[in-house]
Chain A
Amino acid sequence: NLALALAANDSSKAIGLLDVDVYGPSVPKMMNLKGNPELSQSNLMRPLLNYGIACMSMGFLVEETAPVIWRGLMVMSAIEKLLRQVDWGQLDYLVVDMPPGTGDVQLSVSQNIPISGAVIVSTPQDVALMDAHKGAEMFRKVHVPVLGLVQNMSVFQCPKCKHKTHIFGADGARKLARALGLDVLGDVPLHLNIREASDTGQPIVFSQPESDEAKAYLRIAVEVVRRLPPHPE
C-alpha cells in the first residue's frame, strides 16, 4: 500500500517494491503476481509489474507452498541476488518489505545498499512495541535513518454499531515514538477492507482509493517523502 500510495501521490515517479521476506513472501499474493522472472540481455532478472509498480520477491523464485528452510548464509546470498541482480531501471523510490526481526536479512540489506530511511511498522501492543524498539535500535547501530513509526491496526470500528475498540491498546506507538525521539507518520485502522483487498491481490490504495483506509496510507506516504534526505545528484 505504501508503494501504491507513493505512486498515486505523484504519478511522475517510478516505484519499485522489493520483498525480502524470504521465509514468508507476501508481495506476490498481495500484488496479484505470479511466475518466474524473465532474464534481460545482461542476465538480470526483470521485475514483474502490476498496478504500475515493479515488483521482485523470493515468492517469484520458489513454489508458493515451498518453505525456504535456509540458514543465514544462504539467505544472505539470496538477498544479494534480489538486490543486485534485478533490472530495476530508473526508480525514484524502492520500497523494501522486510521480514520480522533484527537478524541476517536486516544486516545484509543495511550493509549492502545505501538506505535512504526506514519506516517501522508496529501495532500498539506492548510486545510488538518492544520489538519495534529493538528494530529502531538496530537501525541506529547500522546508521540507517529512521523516518518514523507507523501505528498499524490502531483501532477497530464495529461495522454494526460503530463502536470503536482499541484491540491492541491505544496509542502505544505514540508513547514509544516520544521515548525514542521519533515521529509517528500515521495510524492505519484494523479494517476488514484492508485485509480483504490484500488477500484478493488488489491492495486498498489501488482498489478503493477514496476510502478512509486508503487515505490513511496516502497521508503516510506524504509524510515519508517529506522526511527523506535530499537525493545526492
Chain B
Amino acid sequence: MEEVPHDCPGADSAQAGRGASCQGCPNQRLCASGAGATPDPAIEEIKEKMKTVKHKILVLSGKGGVGKSTFSAHLAHGLAEDENTQVHQSGSGWSPVYVEDNLGVMSVGFLLSSPDDAVIWRGPKKNGMIKQFLRDVDWGEVDYLIVDTPPGTSDEHLSVVQYLTAAHIDGAVIITTPQ
C-alpha cells in the first residue's frame, strides 16, 4: 500500500513537497517539482481499467445511519440475481472477494488485520486507498459497479468522482430517511 505522511498537504496543494511533513516522503521531490499540478496519471489508468465495467453507480446520502450500506449490498445482490450479469477474474491486480459467483466485493475492511481495527486516516491517505481500489483491483468484466460511500460530502466523494472523470459515472442514488 502506498505510504502517505500523516499531514500530507495534498499533491495538488501549494504546499506540495514543501511542507514540514513532506520531509522523508517518497513523493517529496515529485510534489516539489510541481508535478502534482498536472492531472493525475491514475485517472487515465482508471479509465482503461474501467473499460470492462459497464455501469458505475454511486450510493450517497449526506447523513449517516440512513441505510446506505444496507441498500448498496441489497442492490448489488438484486442485480446479481439477473443471471445474464457476469464477473470474470483475470489474475492480475487485487482480486475482489466473491460472495456469489457473480458478485465481487472490495472494501478496506478486508485489508485490516482485525475487524475491530480503526482506520484513523486523514484525507490524503484515504484518497490513496480509493485510487488503488479503482486502479489496482482486477474487477474484470463487470456489468454493474456499486460504490458505497460514507456520510458527508468530503474527500471520499470528491476522490471517487475525480478518479472516475474519464471513466464516466452513470449516476448516483441518494438514500435518506424521511426525518
Contacts and interface: CB of A to CB of B under 8 A. Distances in A.
A216 B124 CA distance: 41
Interface stretch (A36-44, A80-88, A125-133): A125-133
Contacts of B116: 130, 133-134, 137
B120 A100 contact: no
Nearest to A123: B65
B118 A71 contact: no
A103 B119 CA distance: 8
Interface residues of B: mostly helix, strand, loop or mixed?
A: loop
Interface string A101-130: 111101100000000000000010001101
Contact of B65 (A68, A100, A138): A100
B155 A72 contact: yes
Contact of B151 (A70, A99, A104, A134): A99
A72 B154 contact: yes
B120 A138 contact: yes
A72 B62 CA distance: 16
Interface string B140-179: 0000000000111111011000000000000000000001
B153 A68 contact: yes
Interface in A55-93: 67-73, 75
A128 B158 CA distance: 25
A199 B179 CA distance: 7
A71 B13 CA distance: 11
Contacts of B150: 100-101
B157 A69 contact: yes
Contacts of A195: 179
Contacts of A123: 65
B69 A23 contact: no
Interface in B95-137: 115-124, 126
Contacts of A101: 64, 150-152
- Specify which of A23, A75, A128, A199 lies most central, judged by the most chain B CB atoms within 10 Å of its CB: A23
Given A23-B62, A137-B117, A199-B179, A103 B153 contact: no
A141 B120 contact: yes
Nearest to B126: A103
Given A72-B123, A72-B124, A137-B116, A128 B155 contact: no
22 contacts: A23-B62, A23-B151, A67-B153, A69-B153, A70-B153, A71-B123, A71-B155, A72-B124, A72-B154, A73-B13, A73-B123, A75-B123, A100-B65, A102-B118, A103-B120, A103-B122, A104-B123, A104-B154, A123-B65, A130-B115, A130-B116, A141-B120
Given A70-B153, A73-B10, 12 more contacts: A23-B154, A68-B153, A69-B154, A71-B10, A71-B158, A72-B126, A73-B9, A99-B64, A103-B122, A103-B123, A134-B118, A195-B179
Interface of B: 9-10, 13, 62-65, 69, 115-124, 126, 150-155, 157-158, 179
